[in-house]
Amino acid sequence: MNQKAAVGQLSALRLKYRERKDAFLEENIKVKDPFYIFRDWLSDALNTEEILEPNAAALATVNAAGKPSNRFVLVKEATAEGFTFFTNYGSRKAEEIASNANVAIAIYWMPLRRSIRIEGIAEKISKEASLKYFHERPRASQIGAAASPQSQRIRSRSYLDEVEAGIKATLGENGEVPLPNWGGYLVRPSLIEFWQGQTDRLHDRICFRRGAGVLDEVDGELVHKGENEWVYERLAP
């Protein structure tokens, strides 16, 4: 198939989602807390063989001029505080977070026909926590992080190979890799939305929000009180 024919088929693509009997309903949520649902859905994703990287997430940031950018990261921790990922602190994403800490994360588990959308504020975790995780990584990954000036222009692939070889020569086989300009961010969420696809395109969307004034919006009809100062609402697809 040539490129033109392949592109022409985009409009005809249709994936079958879930049936109405599998609808994502509020009354089936045992604990009205988004982290409870996240852990439940993550467990399903971890037990689905077709999902090879269940912690892969698209991270969106915005620069000082309001221009957005997006890339995939790996979520390495999810607690009641938020979601943690790691990166080079000199990268484009880190520079944009420094100028505008508002970020968004999207996770899509296609075999489950589920997606999770998160909005919140990103903040650096402690250097001690970053160092601990850094040294839990495979040594080759540690050296790779030290070798790469992430998001900076480089002359060729061979440049990275040369830097990597230099680090290996300096450290020897067993030398500890020092922490480079690299570490973690914790995204403290103010919004977590759960999406589950329906074949008739009347998809389920249940959104949890937390923050100043949200509890005042609770009316028991459109906005409902959840656990731990969260409110939740159903959104039209």
Point out the residues that are catalytic: 201
Q: Which are the contacts of 129, defined by CB distance < 8 A and separation ≥ 6?
A: 183, 184
- The structure tokens listed for 101 are 């800490």
What is the Cα–Cα distance from 109 to 117, expressed in whole angstroms?
12
